[in-house]
Structure 1
């Protein structure tokens, strides 16, 4: 049996691994990047040094330019993602629980699913103009299908023994949804929402690259037109950091309160 000191040492090693390993790849990437920039093999206009990117980022932060563009993109992402999540979760559960609903809607979903969201952009601009509506519409299309697909698969994966017990005791559909379906599907909702959030950022950038005068996508286009590669890469870094923070917050929110572990305990009980 391991001693108390060995257990403490093992726990300390695990804590150090969780603290260090996630940032090890990023540190190595920065070192290689800095080395390539300093070697002179690549022109600065093509690959600026990390210090130049940080300087550009600092300049945009001080001027307030970055906050204006980020706030615009963030508002669009949150709005579109919220609509997509509501639609994807609702339709995924409805089609998973109702064979008739699945029969009616499955063909339509399979028809629209392969169409890239960006292919809708000309119609979105025609229908909603170049304002917020077209951009939110593209985000909804991009985020919806990952969420819907994961939720539908989650409902299909619900253990048959729970459904049999619910049928035996003549449990109402509402109670079945609250006490059996939702607890089982919650991990799939989490996975779908996290995937959908990534698609939301990809879609908003593509929409902003083609229309509008405000947003991270417009910032990247404007910097590219002026050959300001350091600003382009600074904007890309901001997108990655913001996406990571939103993904972590989403995971924390869905795991808090009646989170995944609590739901699983209720199922087991």
Structure 2
């Protein structure tokens, strides 16, 4: 197992190294001017300067706080409603048409209206993240509940388990892997949403920093922001995977 993990890690580094090499050669050959694609050294220096000044850490904390607030709200609402819709046909029929209609509207189309309703403060950004993350979590929770083997549900009924015990012992363990698929999808979309919201209306955060760097013609700062989002997203996704492995060992 360890050998496979190590091989995967080494293999996973090949493409980033190829990208870095292509980046370096493109800049050195003059294919792209520094104003469009800065040298790797300039990006590294921008990273160090932003770390030293505290700008990068501050922006990361602001964006991370927004993501966590919206994402956790989406988990609560998505898993709760998804459980109800996945275990009750009447509730499913009541919500499906409306939610499917809302789900078709791109998150970018919601941002101006949400800002109009909630202003440009933290509430609007959290609302955008919530709306973006909610539907992947909801849909996968419903799918997980509906895919619960009917035989297990019948056994629970045979033993006269209560509704809560049936959910706890049958539905939830069976649906958990699918729920985590929704959690991971929702997490990725949360970062897309927070950057989109910060690009439009914010005075802090990684998205704001990228937008500000664009207006100041600082591509090195823009790339630092983009890499920071990627690293944060991958780290949080890995954390979710580790949690899933711990609580669902039978899925390994």
Q: TM-score, normalised by structure 2?
A: 0.96
Structure 1 segment 153-172 matched on structure 2, within 5 A: 153-172=143-162
- The answer to whether the aligner puts 1:183 opposite 2:173 as a matched pair is yes
CA distance in 2, matches of 1:235, 1:126: 27
- The answer to whether the aligner puts 1:261 opposite 2:246 as a matched pair is no
2:98 aligns with: 108
1:29 aligns with: 19
What is the aligned-residue RMSD (CA, Å)? 1.5
CA distance in 1, matches of 2:3, 2:21: 25
Q: Alpha-carbon deviations, 1:203-251, whole Å to 9, x = none?
A: 0100000111111111001100011011101110000001111111122
2:215 aligns with: 225
2:142 aligns with: 152
SS in 1 for 2:33: coil
Query: Size of the alignment, in residue pairs?
Result: 252
State the shift of 1:51 in Å. Answer: 1.7
1:48 aligns with: 38
1:209 to 185, 199, 203: 199
CA distance in 2, matches of 1:181, 1:163: 8
- The answer to whether the aligner puts 1:141 opposite 2:131 as a matched pair is yes
Worse-matched range after superposition: 209-218 or 122-131: 122-131
1:8 aligns with: none
Structure 2: which 5+ runs fail to align?
A: none
Distance change (3 Å), C-alpha of 1:15 and 1:205: closer
State the shift of 1:15 in Å. Answer: 4.8
Structure 1 segment 92-103 matched on structure 2, within 5 A: 92-103=82-93
2:72 aligns with: 82
CA distance in 1, matches of 2:129, 2:104: 15
Q: Alpha-carbon deviations, 1:92-122, whole Å to 9, x = none?
A: 1110100110011111111111011221112
SS in 2 for 1:115: coil
1:248 aligns with: 238
CA distance in 2, matches of 1:142, 1:13: 38
State the shift of 1:183 in Å. Answer: 0.4
Distance change (3 Å), C-alpha of 1:83 and 1:96: same
State the shift of 1:54 in Å. Answer: 1.1
SS in 2 for 1:40: coil
Structure 1: which 5+ runs fail to align?
A: 1-10
Q: Alpha-carbon deviations, 1:161-186, whole Å to 9, x = none?
A: 11121222222111110000110111
State the shift of 1:123 in Å. Answer: 1.8
CA distance in 2, matches of 1:191, 1:29: 29
SS in 2 for 1:67: helix
Distance change (3 Å), C-alpha of 1:155 and 1:13: closer
